[in-house]
Amino acid sequence: MKTKAFTVVLFLLIAGSIYAQEKEIRFAFELNGGAALSTSKMEGFATQTGVGFEALFHYRFLPQLGAYAGWGWNTLPAKHSFAGDDVCFEETGYILGLNFSHPIHGLGLSYYVRAAGLYNHIETENADGNIINDTGHGLGFQLAGGVEIPLNSKWSLTPGIKFNSLDRKIDYKGSPLKLHYQYLSIRIGIVRKF
């Protein structure tokens, strides 16, 4: 009889903790990507519309506030530049930031605002895909915002807009240059909560 009572109590405790954990989903993984439009010139040369993506892990430590970290890649092609014709400027590196999310009353949606630091570098690639210059990693920042559209309790879509800014110095053919890699990106993401 004691074993049956112990088994029932243990079952109720485990079931209760599983139920409580389902209400407290704190982790998520996000993949997002989209088009990128440069907001600055590369040493006086204009770039074309580019593309990029990010892979992010989220941890919510307060009901509306969380942290996110991950890796991102973005490319901005240029027909003509200081590095020659038909080159791409690729920004890759790491992201660490804060995410504020708040429900929009009556719509079943939430809006989000993000701010992050970047530890990224810029590679210049020629038309053959060979790297002809690498700035090395340095600090930048990211600002983002958008809407979270829940598909069910575990999956959501996150359309939004983001701005990345990274300034890096390079030495190109004996001349010191400063690259201002700044772009605005229209992104759509998919999030899986767990």
Q: Give the Cα separation of 126 and 81 in Å (integer).
A: 11
In the block, which residue shows the tokens 């995410």? 99
| Residue 65: both structure tokens together | 């506030």
Cβ atoms < 10 Å from Cβ of 101: 18
Query: 70 CB contacts (<8 Å, ≥6 apart)?
Result: 30, 54, 55, 56, 57, 94, 95
The verdict on residue 5 lying in a domain is: no
- Share the mean pLDDT of the chain: 90
Residue 110 tokens read as: 């939430």
**3-state per-residue secondary structure call for 101-133:** EEEECCCCEEEEEEEEEEEEEEEEECCCCCEEE
The single-letter DSSP state of residue 5 is H
In a domain, 120, yes or no: yes
- Its pTM stands at 0.84
Lowest mean pLDDT among 14-18, 88-92, 159-163, 168-172: 14-18
Domain count within the chain: 1
pLDDT for 138-192, tens place per residue? 999 999 999 999 999 999 999 999 999 999 998 888 889 999 999 999 999 999 9
Q: Say which amino acid occupies 126.
A: N
Indicate if the pLDDT at residue 94 is higher than 70: yes
Q: Is residue 1 part of a domain?
A: no
In a domain, 113, yes or no: yes
Phi, psi (degrees; rounded to nearest 5) at 38: -65, 140
Q: Is 185 exposed, middle or buried (0-12, 13-18, 19+ CB in 10 A)?
A: buried
In a domain, 188, yes or no: yes
Residue 102 lies in a domain: yes
- 11 falls within a domain: no
Domain of 185? 26-193
Q: What is the pLDDT of residue 3?
A: 56
CATH number of domain containing 84? 2.40.160.20
pLDDT at 16 over 70: no
| Domain contains 64 | yes
